[in-house]
Structure 1
Amino acid sequence: MLAQVGADACTALLWTAANAAEMGGDPARIAVAGGSAGGNIAASTVLRARDQAGPRILFQLLTYPGVDAGLTTHSAREFTDTPVLNRAALEWAVRYYARDSHTAPYAFPVRAADLGGLPPTCIAVAEIDPLRDEGRDYAARLSAAGVTTELVQVPGAVHGFDLLFPSARISERSLADQVRALHDALHP
């Protein structure tokens, strides 16, 4: 499963880069984005593109990404019975997603030995989310590797807040911040 997910995302990235002009895009201005498990896949795809001389990624936008399987962060231990994503659901997701790949950097990008050379990154985390500290840790590791990184913590928010309550002011503000970061990266 993991190898197929990674291969599918890389295939989509390669296709997008090869066909960007046909879609009215610019192959020199590609960004990768994802939320939750999609944030994991986006981060993994960016790592693979760097490591396998794939298309140059200009920016990555990760929203409450699950980038580590350890489940040992403070937030993973603290927020065990939260709405949307609780400890049992997180354990289930890790078990079926990673299987025996818990330490593989393409399975969980925070585990990569070297995060240097990755594109500028914006990571948004929800304050009341078991994945909060994974996103924070990944942002810290990216910054330490010299990657321009913006970390935004959305106060009072739970995992998936923007999908559950898209019209809430906090969701609208978070989306506006993410769109701004994406726009600024693609149109400097």
Structure 2
Amino acid sequence: MPQRAEIDPERVLVVGFGGAGALAAGLALRPREGKKPRPVGRTLVCPLLDDRNDTVSAVQLADLGGRHRGTNEAAWTHALGSLRDTADVPVYAAPARAEDPSGLPPTSLEAGSAETFRDEIVACASSIRAAGGDAEPQLFPGGFHGFDFLAPGAALSRDARDVRLKWLRRTLTVLTEPGGAAGFGREV
């Protein structure tokens, strides 16, 4: 009989695409309030981070097909109802609203240059870095929302998956090396 693997809540790395990217980003805010799990890293792929939908890229790409400002507004309204675009939106639901991005685990944020979320993703990475954290924005020229899933064989999609795997390997290697620091300054 195979042994059952136990999940160590102190060694969880979260990954999320789109709306699940918002959940993964929000989950990493919880440990600052003493809640678990305490992710040691995050990979956020084209994540929805800000319900306000007012960045330059959201406005620039408002009338294009695929994921655009209108579909983004519909998604946030579905998720938040009447709270959307109010001061009452919880930071766990729209993580870009968190005023203090300190204490977050190492984060990789991915977007295409033709991504409606491009600028909120770059702003998120910048705020984490400004607070002393480790954030790597990965921008893929010509990529649109979900490009690597919708066109998996395209060279750009293969490049994006390569970059993602390299970041994951690098992050997980640091976490598993003897004396390697985990995302919150503790040793694993």
Aligned twin of 1:178: 164
Deviation, structure 1 residue 130: 1.1
SS of the equivalent of 2:108 reads: strand
1:29·1:186 contact (CA, 8 Å) conserved in 2? no
- 1:150 aligns to 2:140 (yes or no): no
Letter of the 2:146 partner, please give it: G
Residues 126-151 of structure 1: CA deviation (Å, up to 9, x unaligned): 11011111111111111111111111
Deviation, structure 1 residue 97: 0.9
Aligned twin of 1:141: 127
Aligned twin of 2:108: 122
2:51·2:84 contact (CA, 8 Å) conserved in 1? no
CA distance in 1, matches of 2:51, 2:77: 9
Matches within 5 A, 1:3-152: 22-23=4-5, 27-99=9-81, 100=83, 102=85, 103-152=89-138
Percent of pairs identical after alignment? 32
CA distance in 2, matches of 1:88, 1:113: 26
CA distance in 2, matches of 1:101, 1:167: 36
Q: TM-score, normalised by structure 2?
A: 0.83
CA distance in 2, matches of 1:131, 1:156: 13
Deviation, structure 1 residue 23: 2.9
Deviation, structure 1 residue 50: 3.3
Residues 7-54 of structure 1: CA deviation (Å, up to 9, x unaligned): xxxxxxxxxxxxxx9437654432001011111011011112332331
Residues 132-174 of structure 1: CA deviation (Å, up to 9, x unaligned): 1111111111111111111110101111101110111110110
Deviation, structure 1 residue 86: 1.9
RMSD (Å), alpha carbons: 1.7
Bigger Cα Rg? 2
1:59·1:119 contact (CA, 8 Å) conserved in 2? yes
Point out the structure with the larger helix share. 1
SS of the equivalent of 2:153 reads: coil
CA distance in 1, matches of 2:29, 2:84: 16
Any stretches of 5+ residues in structure 1 without a counterpart?
1-20
Letter of the 1:179 partner, please give it: L
Deviation, structure 1 residue 125: 1.0
SS of the equivalent of 2:30 reads: helix
Residues 54-111 of structure 1: CA deviation (Å, up to 9, x unaligned): 1331110001111001111000100012232022211111111122154321111111
Q: TM-score, normalised by structure 1?
A: 0.83
